[in-house]
Amino acid sequence: MPEGNLAATLLMRPSGVPGWAALRSFLAANALYETLSLHVDRTRLSLKWPNDVLLDGGKVAGILLESSGRNGQVDWLSIGIGVNVAAAPGALRDAPFPPVSVAEQCGTTPEPEAFLRELAGHYATEESILEQLGFAPIREKWLRSAARLGEVISADTGSEVVTGRFETVDEGGHLVLETAHGRRLIAAADVFF
């Protein structure tokens, strides 16, 4: 990772409804969006389902959830976050969403430690909203910043590529596409537009 960028992992024992563990990528995305908007005009930011933040159409941040548990319960959840604060990885310039950095796009370079403190505060707010009000307000906030909402996108599930109009994200965090063959709910995929 280039010097001056941020890589952080939050390790937690998730509370609340068992299915909420996977939804925490939306909390992290909202927190990243709010933190980045302190340094970048928010109109230049968008959220790509399920776990990326775009700046001017390039990937500026990503989220990775990993969990462990048994009997259908999540005992531990790690939320990994990477943010291209100072520099974008050069080896990935030909990617569908080429990496960009805050510094390269905006001319400012937030200190990673300060950025992490801001991010932690925003994430704590999102957790509080989830605990008190459930997923609905998190989902609504995420959708307001969603990339390509209402437009035709493609989702590669690994076994098929589904193309349709990005209708919404449902209460379970699934991508909802309106296709030529009807509505499709997608739990996991790489999204392209």
State whether residue 132 is helix, strand or coil.
Answer: helix
Phi, psi angle pair for 35, to nearest 5°: -65, -45
For the stretch 147-158, pLDDT in tens is: 999 999 999 999
13 and 103 share a domain?
A: yes
For the stretch 25-79, pLDDT in tens is: 999 999 999 999 999 999 999 999 999 999 999 999 999 999 998 887 899 999 9
**pLDDT the model gives residue 41:** 97
158 and 134 share a domain?
A: no
What is the average per-residue pLDDT within 95-113? Answer: 92
Lowest mean pLDDT among 2-6, 87-91, 186-190: 87-91
What is the average per-residue pLDDT within 141-165? Answer: 98
Q: How many domains, the chain?
A: 2
88 and 161 share a domain?
A: no
Is pLDDT above 90 for 99? yes
Containing H/E element for 27? helix 20-36
**pLDDT the model gives residue 171:** 96
26 and 104 share a domain?
A: yes
Which pLDDT band, with edges at 50, 70 and 90, does 95 fall under?
A: confident
**pLDDT the model gives residue 92:** 65
139 and 182 share a domain?
A: no
DSSP 42-65: GGGEEEETTTEEEETTEEEEEEEE
62 and 80 share a domain?
A: yes
Query: Is 1 a member of any domain?
Result: no
What is the average per-residue pLDDT within 177-184? Answer: 98
**pLDDT the model gives residue 23:** 96
**pLDDT the model gives residue 136:** 98
User: What is the CATH number for 183?
Assistant: 2.30.30.100
User: What is the CATH number for 116?
Assistant: 3.30.930.10
- Looking only at the bridges linking them, the beta strands covering 161-169 and 52-55 are unpaired
Domain span at residue 176? 152-192
State whether residue 158 is helix, strand or coil.
Answer: coil
**pLDDT the model gives residue 70:** 86
